[in-house]
């Protein structure tokens, strides 16, 4: 079962969803802005992605600058907490299949886990 962390307002996210469906996959869609992952789920997601929290942050978001998240002194826990409290900081879309996950940038990346 493929899960897609999705933001319907994002064109890349919509493209990733369309690509999955065009390839016969109807994913479980998680509207992560409405139901954000908690810290434990986010840590598990980062492990599946094989990246650190800093790599999952959307650095162009105003809240990134407001919270000074570019400060290299901030540890993983602080970055994860920032994403839990401000889910729009989480890069999107993210496709998950079992123990594998990818960020759908470009959207074609989601095809690598089906």
- Count helices and strands (H / E) in the chain: 5, 4
Annotated active-site residue 10? The verdict is yes
Q: Which of 1, 3, 8, 10 is catalytic?
A: 10
At 29, phi and psi to the nearest 5? -95, 125
Residue positions annotated with a catalytic role? 10
């Amino acid at each position: 079962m493929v899960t897609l962390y999705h933001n319907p307002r994002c064109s890349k996210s919509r493209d990733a969803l369309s690509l999955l469906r065009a390839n016969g996959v109807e994913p479980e869609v998680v509207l992560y802005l409405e139901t954000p992952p908690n810290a434990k789920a986010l840590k598990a997601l980062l492990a599946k992605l094989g990246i650190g929290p800093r790599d999952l942050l959307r650095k162009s978001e105003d809240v990134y600058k407001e919270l000074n998240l570019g400060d290299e002194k901030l540890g993983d826990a602080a970055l994860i907490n920032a994403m839990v409290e401000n889910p729009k900081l989480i890069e999107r879309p993210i496709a998950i299949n079992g123990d594998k996950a990818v960020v759908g940038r470009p959207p074609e990346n989601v095809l690598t886990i089906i």
